[in-house]
Structure 1
Amino acid sequence: MILPVGEILFDHFPDGKRLGGAPFNFAAHLKAFGLPVTFITRVGMDDDGNAVLDALARRGFDIDIIQRDAHHATGRVTVSLDDHGVPEFTIVPDVAYDYLAYSDAVAAAVAQGPEMIYYGTLIQRSETASATVMKILENRPPSTRCFCDLNLRKNCYDQNSITKSLVHCDILKLSEAELSILKNQFNVQTVDKLFIDDLMHNFAIEWVSLTSGPRGSTLFTGDGVFSAEPSVSENVVDTVGAGDAYAAVLAAGYLRGWEPARILRRATRFAGALCGLSGAIPEDMVFYRPFLNWMNDGGES
């Protein structure tokens, strides 16, 4: 079982709203791949919250574990796109997921011994939700791997939340921009590879995945450094959720024991395919058909 923890929200685009949030996007992809996923989040007692529960139920999630908040609205983000389809986010503060609690249901899910826990920093912008995430990580069984996708959003992180996240991290995913932020946070001037080597050593991180947009991606492991060219697509609609799609395949590949080079090829291909859609999550499950064979280690790419 994979246990993603964090925000679910509605991304409000110029042409309407779509369900999003990095932990949900990650969870939805893995669920569509046929992997067992229990998603932990908190939504409001409002129309958006009801819509979230309906969407999760349609995708086969257990909604009994989803927390409801009578005093705070469901998460919301406004999204604007530049001429290249690259998003800019404005994240509404003080919403339901900021009050995620360590409930009996959450404790029971952790006690089941998930193979992997996924988390980021946005869910940790509040003291309440941050304490819940840390309690989940501290109470996990020793065999549970921790996947941290930093997803550093403006005004939604600090050095404390970053450091606490790294302490528990086995697999770290970050972008080039987030790598630069990390180097500034830790006041380090060294070249990227040496900084990543130090991160892996100081925090006992097993893998670091660095995504570089049009320059592809790199995976740093104890066995070496692996790189992949970006997926070439002439039909890019937007890049919303591409990193979450990449993260989902990275996690699946780690748990399935794929070779690093294969993981990179597959993660790149899947993220590239998603960029041909509008928004972060496919509405039609047919989208996943070309990729389902991967979960049984069939097919090469």
Structure 2
Amino acid sequence: MIVVGGEALVDLVPAKSTLDGEPGALLPRLGGGPYNVAVTAGRLGVPVSFLSRVSRDDFGDALVARLEVSNVDTTYLQRGPEPTTLAVTNLGPDGGARYTFYAEGTADRLFEAPEELPEDMTMLSLGTLSLVLEPGASAYEQVMRRANVLTVLDPNVRPVLIADPDAYRARFASWLPDVGLLKLSEEDAAWIAQQDGLDAARQWQQQGPAAVVLTRGSNGIAVIAGSGELVEVPATEAQVVDTIGAGDTVHGALLAWLYTKGVQSVGQLRELDADAWREALRFAGAAAAITVSRAGAEPPFAAELGPII
């Protein structure tokens, strides 16, 4: 089983303004990076469980219901009376998203590491706000250190929530020995490393991860494979409504592809050749192309995408 740990939240996405100078109504969309990853993997037909803390408010109930209809196991989901984290989304002309977060005292920040991890866990996925906002961040980090499985990390950086960038960068570096697959956007890589994202990926691949996947928006997806070879695929053509959840869909689709292909260890990941990586990246890109053609993070079901080839 794949276990995805991290926050679930509600994106408030603006509708088109109806009056000059007045903002449009804010439409709630269920999301959160790790939440979207779990939903993607579940919809693509692989066994996945979501490890988080979710509010008992109406938004929290809706988040849980969507997990269940997306075939995501909720056995390890914690619930609490605290409110759901809100992210107000601002969309640029190209459909790109920027966020303002309301996360003080919310449920996902109070996640506690379980005493025991699932016995059938074969992969662990972590990232985004869950590894930034305390006290939950330390609890998720504890899970990362304890898990003796293939661990996939997407930092999905939100600089507005990082009070001390240098401390965050040092903490990120401390995670790398425990990470089997590092997945991040080229922009996030450049922000963390303060240099070219591709150069940074090559350096990180020598510090623990068997492979580093870089999403590049309209320029496609690339990976520094276990051999050190750069493998690239172009972006799948899509009619973009917005890019909310695109990177999370890539992440979840990669988890599904790896699980289906029986890649469940760092050693197996390191041995994937260029042809296998092209297949994996094309599959993930095709899934993301469907997501960006819809409003909000709405990953495809397996029937919409076809089988994992």
Output the amino acid matched with 1:275.
V
Q: Deviations over 1:132-188 (max 9, x none)?
A: 1122122212xx10100110002334224422332321111111211111222xxxx
1:227 aligns with 2:232: yes
Alignment partner, residue 176 of structure 1? 186
* Partner SS, residue 254 of structure 1: helix
Alignment partner, residue 131 of structure 1? 138
How many pairs were matched up? Answer: 278
Displacement, 1:288? 3.2
Q: Which runs of 5+ in 2 are unaligned?
A: 16-26, 163-167, 264-271
* Partner SS, residue 174 of structure 1: strand
Alignment partner, residue 269 of structure 2? none
Displacement, 1:96? 1.0
CA distance in 2, matches of 1:254, 1:84: 31
Displacement, 1:251? 2.2
Q: 1:61 to 1:174 in 2, by over 3 A?
A: closer
Displacement, 1:262? 0.8
* Partner SS, residue 161 of structure 2: coil
Stretch moving more, 130-139 or 154-163: 154-163
TM-score with structure 2 length normalisation?
A: 0.83
Alignment partner, residue 8 of structure 1? 8
1:56 aligns with 2:67: yes
1:199 aligns with 2:199: no
Alignment partner, residue 240 of structure 1? 244
The equivalent position to 1:40 in structure 2, one of 31, 51, 65, is 51
1:289 aligns with 2:306: no
CA distance in 2, matches of 1:195, 1:65: 35
Displacement, 1:42? 0.8
Q: Deviations over 1:52-82 (max 9, x none)?
A: 2222233333334221222x21121111211
* Partner SS, residue 94 of structure 2: coil
Alignment partner, residue 219 of structure 2? 215
Output the amino acid matched with 2:156.
N
Maintained 8 Å contact 1:121/1:161: no
TM-score with structure 1 length normalisation?
A: 0.86
Alignment partner, residue 23 of structure 2? none
The equivalent position to 1:280 in structure 2, one of 284, 290, 297, is 297
CA distance in 1, matches of 2:214, 2:78: 33
Q: Deviations over 1:32-52 (max 9, x none)?
A: 111110101112232222222
The equivalent position to 1:251 in structure 2, one of 252, 255, 270, is 255
CA distance in 2, matches of 1:250, 1:64: 23
Q: Deviations over 1:63-106 (max 9, x none)?
A: 34221222x211211112112211111121221111100134xx
Percent pairwise identity: 26
Maintained 8 Å contact 1:121/1:150: yes
Displacement, 1:193? 4.2
Q: Which runs of 5+ in 1 are unaligned?
A: none
Alignment partner, residue 150 of structure 1? 155
CA distance in 2, matches of 1:262, 1:53: 32
* Partner SS, residue 100 of structure 2: strand
Output the amino acid matched with 1:19.
L
CA distance in 1, matches of 2:190, 2:285: 22
CA distance in 2, matches of 1:252, 1:62: 15
